[in-house]
Amino acid sequence: MSSHRILKTVGALLLKETIHKRILIAGLMLATIAIGAFAQKPVNDAGSLDSVTPAANLYRDDADAKKEIEAALKSAVPTKKRILLVFGANWCYDCHVLDQALRQGDAGKIISENFLLVNVDIGEGEKNLDLVKLYKIPLEKGVPALAVLERDGRLLYSSGQGEFEDARRMMKKDLIEFLRHWQTNN
């Protein structure tokens, strides 16, 4: 084999190796960019409710919703607050999103100043059905579903059209507007 041929073969192998290295580097760079993009929390420019990591026990198995509502009604008069019932379940991602939104920011401030919050667990659709019926919550429209009670226990509002069932797409300003509409006028 001539030296010219050897140099040509070695040159071809080096070129091939360089191309493979460049492809590998480009692939690694793209993978790094993709991982970084997916690892970041989405930017909430639209003002919709924030994404959450669901809590394991937002709706406690041992909770007695009737007793919690009774306790809230007893506290409502002296605190001059209304009661906000949130019907939902641990399996419901939108219930977790709404719960977080009701506990922080402007909505959280309105809640703490004007409402007593009670979570009512529906389980898989079989729990607290007497409360579902009493507060006119149509489960077929989805959860979370809300009911607003006056201090005397009178039902002021029930989300009968599934207004909150897609909480992850709900705008913060709309939630705040809803809460302001139903807040007490101390």
pLDDT tens, position by position, 48-92: 888 877 777 899 989 999 999 999 999 999 999 999 999 999 999
User: Tokens representing 34?
Assistant: 């993709």
pTM higher than 0.85? no
Q: CA-CA distances (angstroms) from residue 38 to 29, 108, 118, 143, 175?
A: 14, 29, 35, 28, 28
Q: Give pLDDT, residue 164.
A: 95
> In this predicted model, what pLDDT tens digit does every residue of 35-52 receive, in sequence order?
554 444 444 444 888 887
63: Cα separation from own chain's centroid:
21
Amino acid identity of residue 81, one-letter, is K
Tokens of 109: 């401030």
Say what the pLDDT of residue 104 is: 93
Looking at residue 95, its amino acid is: C
Name the CA radius of gyration of the chain, rounded.
28
Taking the CB of residue 136, how many other CB atoms lie within 10 A of it? 13
Instruction: Provide the pairing of β-strand 155-158 with 115-121.
Output: unpaired
pLDDT at 57: 84
- The model's confidence at residue 186, banded by pLDDT at 50, 70 and 90, is low
Report the amino acid identity of residue 119.
Answer: N
Query: CA 7 to CA 12: how far, in whole Å?
Result: 8
- The b-or-e profile of 61-99 (16+ CB within 10 A means b, else e) is eebebeebbeebbeebeebebbbbbbbbbbebebbbbbb
The least confident of 22-36, 64-78, 113-127 is 22-36
